[in-house]
Homo-oligomer: A and B are copies of this chain.
């Protein structure tokens, strides 16, 4: 956490933003809930547990700030609200993909990246300079598939 804090602090400072106590609270919640895909409101509720005087607007503003610095990324699983992921690019971790069960809504993370070849082609054919990608795979998870088989 200390390391993360330092890293974020430095990033922000490059454009004269501060890692204020409120922002740090948001950061902490994000860091402690990696892989959970929290929504803004869920983050807000978690932050409130420790800083009850935080406002939802501040959380939104902080999330936007972190997004601008690529500290977090947002994904939309189609349920009408954005969800936030921490640290994909911060520590050189791989891109990862999401399996979304269309029955129960479960989300499984896949930590493999097999898109290099595709990206290569895209780059050459379209002269498109890739900075990021997002792959969502929809279908049925093992449990839901089994349930269906029984009926």
Given contacts A78-B74, A78-B76, A139-B131, contact A115 B112 (CB under 8 A): no
A90 at the interface (CB under 8 A from B): no
A108 at the interface (CB under 8 A from B): yes
Beta-carbon contact of B135 and A134 below 8 Å: yes
Count of A interface residues, CB-CB < 8 Å = 35
Beta-carbon contact of A139 and B130 below 8 Å: yes
Task: Compute how far the CA of A131 lies from the CA of B132 in the bound complex, rounded to whole angstroms.
Answer: 24
One of B101, B108, B114, B122 near A121 (C-beta < 8 A) = B114
A19 at the interface (CB under 8 A from B): no
Task: Compute how far the CA of A141 lies from the CA of B141 in the bound complex, rounded to whole angstroms.
Answer: 36
Beta-carbon contact of A127 and B142 below 8 Å: yes
Query: Per-residue CB proximity of A91-134 to B under 8 Å, as 1/0?
Result: 00000010101100000101010110111011000111111111
- Nearest CB of chain B from residue A25's CB, rounded to whole Å: 26
Beta-carbon contact of B145 and A139 below 8 Å: no
What are 30 contact pairs spanning A and B, CB under 8 A?
A97-B118, A99-B126, A99-B128, A102-B131, A108-B126, A108-B128, A110-B122, A112-B118, A115-B115, A115-B135, A122-B137, A126-B142, A128-B137, A128-B140, A128-B141, A128-B142, A129-B139, A129-B145, A130-B138, A130-B139, A132-B138, A132-B139, A133-B135, A133-B136, A133-B138, A134-B135, A134-B136, A134-B137, A134-B138, A135-B135
The 4 closest A-B pairs by CB, nearest first: A127-B142, A130-B139, A114-B118, A132-B138
